[in-house]
């Protein structure tokens, strides 16, 4: 446990960091889904308890080459559909530093598209993207659907609450049914860590992780990197920085249950930033061994050093026990109040993945300051998700 005021640091390479985070939080995907479905919970958001971690990293699966032979079984047919070029985005670990920078360069191109009178290009015309959300979402689902439509893709929308999942249909049957309709990519959010990895075994389309349990949310981390880079570019008079080297970024709040924190630690550190985790001991992961971070419980002692304050919501829907005396006390100790915002550097920025709970992790007046970039994150989310879809499915120029 990390005690208030105590700072620790573990140095490691980005790949080691990914392995450490996965080892601590990613679970064996088959075990996760089998356990959830055994409880009849695969269609009900938040109803499955996640099994213990076993260290299975969520990394890209390599497809099996099948040559020209005629498939004799359903599994062989699935492999033929996959072919040699199907790619997935399940974790930030699927992208190295250059991969992250390439997504940002593509996002720059789509930023120009967004300024056109008709912000649409035919890059994915004839492709179909399905959004499959087993948990509630506003920003991520609408962002992916907007991104796909601006690339001229057809979009299929699945919502668990209005589907056969409420009748007990398993996750496997659900995704295989959607895949049978002929899709090219599936964007999936699920309450069980490892679910997107499991889905790659069942369907022939590209799979994009839109958030799985407490494991990862890679496109959130990508849009956050892009937003920080954009703010730096403005600060430097239009000079685009090569990466995030030299920045001090504090991620504050419910680290223990946050998939966003895990993806951002990997992405920020891969781009050279110094990352600090700030939280009470009960909201820190059980172990930070291998994480490229410092950790402390003292927010006030760090404010003057920070370039970015990244706030997280208290995820009450994932809390299996009482970890805080009260939300008021949390706000008093860790909320970004007006006084704390005044202690930041003049050029520091404030970020939040949403949804914000005003009066808990951030004071209402701070949420509306120009330095708080929450709506810019949402705007950039469309650009970055256009870039991700194009990166996985596109073949040609924007």
Active site residues: 139-140, 167, 189, 217
What is the rounded distance in angstroms from the CA atom of residue 133 to the CA atom of residue 280? Answer: 31
**Residues forming a β-bridge with 120:** none
The contacts of residue 247 (CB under 8 Å, 6+ apart) are: 228, 232, 268, 272, 273, 274, 307, 308
Rg (CA), the chain: 21
Write the secondary structure of 134-180 as one string of H (helix), E (strand) and C (coil). Answer: CCCCCHHHHHHHHHHHHCCCEEEEEEHHHCHHHHCCCHHHHHHHHHH
What is the rounded distance in angstroms from the CA atom of residue 251 to the CA atom of residue 273? Answer: 12
What is the rounded distance in angstroms from the CA atom of residue 272 to the CA atom of residue 17? Answer: 13
| Dihedral sign (CA 117, 121, 127, 133) | negative
What is the rounded distance in angstroms from the CA atom of residue 228 to the CA atom of residue 271? Answer: 11
Number of CB atoms found within 10 A of residue 278's CB: 29
What is the rounded distance in angstroms from the CA atom of residue 363 to the CA atom of residue 77? Answer: 55
The contacts of residue 213 (CB under 8 Å, 6+ apart) are: 27, 32, 50, 190, 191, 192, 193, 194, 195, 259
What are the Cα distances from residue 373, in Å, to 126, 146, 228, 366? 35, 20, 9, 11
């Amino acid at each position: 446990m990390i005690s208030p005021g105590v700072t620790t640091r573990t140095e490691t390479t980005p790949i080691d960091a990914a392995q450490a985070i996965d080892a601590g939080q990613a679970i064996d995907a088959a075990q996760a889904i089998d356990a959830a479905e055994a409880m009849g919970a695969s269609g009900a958001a938040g109803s499955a308890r996640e099994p213990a971690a076993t260290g299975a990293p969520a990394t890209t699966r390599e497809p099996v080459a099948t040559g020209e032979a005629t498939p004799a079984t359903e599994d062989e047919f699935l492999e033929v559909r996959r072919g040699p070029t199907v790619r997935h985005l399940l974790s930030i670990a699927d992208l190295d530093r250059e991969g992250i920078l390439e997504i940002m360069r593509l996002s720059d191109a789509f930023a120009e598209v967004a300024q056109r009178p008709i912000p649409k290009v035919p890059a994915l015309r004839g492709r179909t993207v399905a959004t499959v959300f087993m948990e509630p979402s506003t920003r991520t689902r609408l962002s992916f659907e907007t991104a796909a439509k601006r690339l001229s893709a057809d979009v299929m929308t699945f919502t668990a609450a209005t589907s056969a999942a409420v009748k007990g249909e398993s996750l496997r049957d659900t995704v295989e049914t959607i895949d049978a309709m002929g899709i090219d990519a599936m964007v999936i959010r699920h309450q069980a860590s490892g679910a997107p990895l499991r889905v790659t075994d069942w369907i022939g389309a590209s799979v994009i992780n839109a958030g799985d349990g407490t494991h990862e949310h890679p496109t959130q981390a990508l849009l956050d990197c892009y937003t920080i880079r954009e703010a730096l570019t403005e600060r430097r008079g239009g000079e685009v920085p090569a990466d995030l080297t030299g920045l001090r970024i504090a991620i504050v709040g419910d680290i223990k249950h946050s998939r966003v924190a895990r993806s951002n630690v990997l992405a920020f550190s891969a781009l050279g930033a110094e990352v600090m985790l700030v939280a009470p001991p009960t909201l820190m992961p059980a172990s930070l061994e291998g994480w490229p971070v410092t950790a402390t419980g003292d927010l006030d002692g760090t404010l003057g050093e920070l370039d970015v304050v990244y706030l997280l919501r208290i995820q009450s829907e994932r809390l299996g026990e009482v970890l805080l005396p009260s939300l008021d006390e949390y706000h008093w100790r860790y909320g970004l109040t007006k006084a704390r915002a005044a202690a930041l550097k003049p050029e520091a920025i404030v970020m939040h993945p949403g949804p914000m709970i005003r009066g808990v992790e951030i004071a209402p007046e701070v949420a509306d300051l120009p330095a708080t970039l929450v709506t810019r994150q949402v705007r950039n989310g469309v650009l970055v998700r256009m870039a991700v879809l194009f990166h996985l499915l596109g073949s040609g120029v924007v």
